[in-house]
Amino acid sequence: MNNSNEKRKRLYRIVAVGLMSALVYIGNYMQIPLNDDMRVHLGNSMCLLAGLLFGGMTGGLSSGIGGFLYDLFDPRYITSAPMTFINKFVMGWTAGKISRSGIKSEFARTLTAAIIGQLTYIILYPGKSFIEQLILGNPVETAFTVMIEKAGTACINGILAVIIAVPLAIALRKALKASGFAYMIEGKPESKGYFNPLTTALTVFAIVVTVGFAIRLSVDSKIKAAQEEKEQAYIQQIDDLNDKVEFLYGQLGINYPQPETDE
């Protein structure tokens, strides 16, 4: 009987992760583009909701997988998918853990969990952009400017996420407690069953791809720097040759030909 209950709980975890991952994925499509790189969207609100309802590990996996898949299928963000998995995971996990804290008031506990979870992401997201700019070889000033822009958008998304996720979580808890998900909603300790071959493989994959992405950025930046150095050398050679030609014209008393104009 106990074995049967464990299997049922494991199934509920899988269902919860799958459902919330889908909501995070869809939430990213509910957006208002600000420019080519920045947008306001509902993805973060679903990440917080996953953590507030189902706790740290379920919330973290749901947030990470949903955000990872969105970036993976969008050419603009595909290279950021591994870092998105980590950042979103940390946001959902943080919100989920704090939502299981000892704060007696449900509203205060939920609001605190949502705010801290979102603040964690607001720190991680611009930080990732800052590091990317440095790896690409851009100066610190440029990296700092990009980081500030990203932080501004992250704050807008964060405020929106908290406003949406907190009332939704409070409203949905009562309905979910009446279902088979009750043991996940009531804040009982989470099982170590999350660390199965699938979740372990996903975590290892995210780490490996992130390291590979960092190496690729570093190599690309070095190649770009070498190409720019060659271009500058060629330009300098051409300038030197022009100076020599002008000098020879001067020594021979020949007027240097001027480029033709429409006049």
Give residue 219's pLDDT: 58
What whole-number distance in Å separates Cα of residue 229 and Cα of residue 251? 33
Give residue 103's pLDDT: 82
Give residue 114's pLDDT: 93
CB count in 10 Å sphere of residue 137 = 15
Average pLDDT over residues 104-109: 89
What whole-number distance in Å separates Cα of residue 148 and Cα of residue 114? 22
Q: What is the pLDDT of residues 16-43, one digit of tens each?
A: 888 899 999 998 888 777 666 667 788 8
Of 19 and 129, more confident: 19
Average pLDDT, the chain: 78
Return the residue matching tokens 């899988």: 14
- The CATH code that applies to domain 2-194 is 1.10.1760.20
Give residue 193's pLDDT: 47
Average pLDDT over residues 102-118: 90
Of 261 and 120, more confident: 120
Where in the chain are the domains?
2-194
Give residue 182's pLDDT: 64
Average pLDDT over residues 183-205: 54
For the entire predicted model, the pTM comes to 0.67
Give residue 191's pLDDT: 47
Beta bridge partners of 205: none
Return the residue matching tokens 């100066």: 139
Asked whether the predicted pLDDT for residue 51 surpasses 70, the reply is: yes
Give residue 108's pLDDT: 92
Asked whether the predicted pLDDT for residue 211 surpasses 70, the reply is: no
Asked whether the predicted pLDDT for residue 110 surpasses 90, the reply is: yes
Q: Identify the weakest region by mean pLDDT among 39-48, 61-70, 172-181, 214-223.
A: 214-223
What whole-number distance in Å separates Cα of residue 224 and Cα of residue 207? 26
Give residue 189's pLDDT: 47
Average pLDDT over residues 205-217: 57
